[in-house]
Amino acid sequence: MKEIWTITRRELQAYFDSLMAYILLILFLGFSGFFTWIYGSDIFFVKQANLQVFFSIAYWTLFFFIPALTMRLLSEENRSGTIELLLTKPISEWQVIVAKFLAALLLIVAALALTTPYYITVSSLGNIDNGAVFSGYLALILVSGMYIAIGLFTSSITNNQIVAYLLALSIGIFFQIIFQMLSSNLTGIAGGVTDYLSINSHFESMTRGVIDSRDLIYFLSVIVLGLVFSESMLMKKRSV
């Protein structure tokens, strides 16, 4: 556990040293703030004391931002050869993967924590459903975890950051859009499966305040799968 935290800390430090963290925080707050408060169907227009608008804006913003956060994590280690140094220290592949996952997740959690002024403002507009706020934020964290796991995996299969970004985005599009489109065109089992695979239904019900174990299992399994695949990519390099 101590080793994981050591690597996580180094990754977080690297995020801040490379200004990546600041860029992400500013862009994330800027985008979500702009669309939530100023543009189009903003909260004042909707005149409801909830964070639905913010949640769906954040949902899309994270979809594009997270691959940028994860693209470097393993591709750069593989490209520069530092992965060899890391893995010849007394730590396992799994620890490396989990540590990097946590670093990106913590940064997202920090970005989300900085949106508490949104919550405070909205709650002053009327009676807010705190349960829905909590489960909405939880949903955002789970979606982030899912995209981080996917991004970590694509970062493990290439030495090129841009390729890692685009691959992560391509895989993400399936969960974000394609499965949903398919499910509305398909019937029977195929329709059910694609509907379950699509993030939308899981995410939306959580932002409305419903925490179902089926949704949690969905997010956690994609996360675990992404991490396990990334781990096996690291292991594979050792027995070429």
Partner 1 sequence: MDIVIENMTKTYGRQKAVDNISLQVKTGEILGFLGPNGAGKTTTMKAITSFLIPDSGKIFIGNISVNDNPQEAKKNIGYLPENNPLYEDMPVIDYLQFCARIEGIAKDKINDKVREVIQTCGISREKHKKISELSKGYKQRVGLAQALIHDPEVLILDEPTTGLDPNQIIEIRELIKKIGKEKTVILSSHILAEVEATCDRIVIIKKGKIVADGTVEELRSQAQGNETLKVTIEDGGLDEIFKALQLLNTVELVDFVDKSTQTFQVKSKPGQSSRRDVFNLCVEKGWTLTQLTFIETRLEDIFYELTLDN
d(CA 20, CA 22) in angstroms, rounded, equals 6
Stretch that binds partner 1, among 14-22, 51-59, 149-157, 180-188 (CB under 8 A): 14-22
Stretch that binds partner 1, among 58-66, 80-88, 113-121, 208-216 (CB under 8 A): 80-88
Residue 188 contacts partner 1 per CB under 8 A = no
- Whether the Cβ atoms of residue 219 and residue 142 lie closer than 8 Å to each other: yes
SS3 of 181, please?
helix
Considering the rule CB under 8 A, would residue 40 count as an interface residue with partner 1?
A: no
Q: Which of residues 79 and 208 has its CB atom nearest to partner 1 in the complex?
A: 79
Specify the residue, 146 or 233, whose C-beta has the smaller distance to partner 1. Answer: 233
- Distance (Å, rounded) from C-alpha 71 to C-alpha 162? 7
Contact 193, 119 (CB under 8 A): no
Q: How far is the CB of 69 from partner 1 (least distance, A)?
A: 17
DSSP assigned state of 240: -
Residue 10, CA distances (Å) to 1, 4, 7, 26, 165 in order: 14, 10, 5, 21, 21
CB of 20 to partner 1, least distance (A): 11
Is 17 a binding residue for partner 1 by CB under 8 A? The answer is yes
- Of the candidates 151, 173, 162, the residue with the CA atom closest to the CA atom of residue 67: 151
Report 94-133 residues binding partner 1 (CB under 8 A).
none
Q: Residue count at the site for partner 1 (CB under 8 A)?
A: 24
Residue 1 interacting with partner 1 (CB under 8 A): no
* Distance of closest approach, residue 85 Cβ to partner 1, in angstroms: 6
Name every residue whose Cβ is closer than 8 Å to that of residue 219 and which is 6 or more positions away in sequence: 142, 143, 145, 146, 202
90 contacts partner 1 (rule: CB under 8 A): yes
Q: Which residues bind partner 1 (CB under 8 A)?
A: 2-3, 6-7, 10, 13-14, 17-18, 80-82, 84-92, 238-240
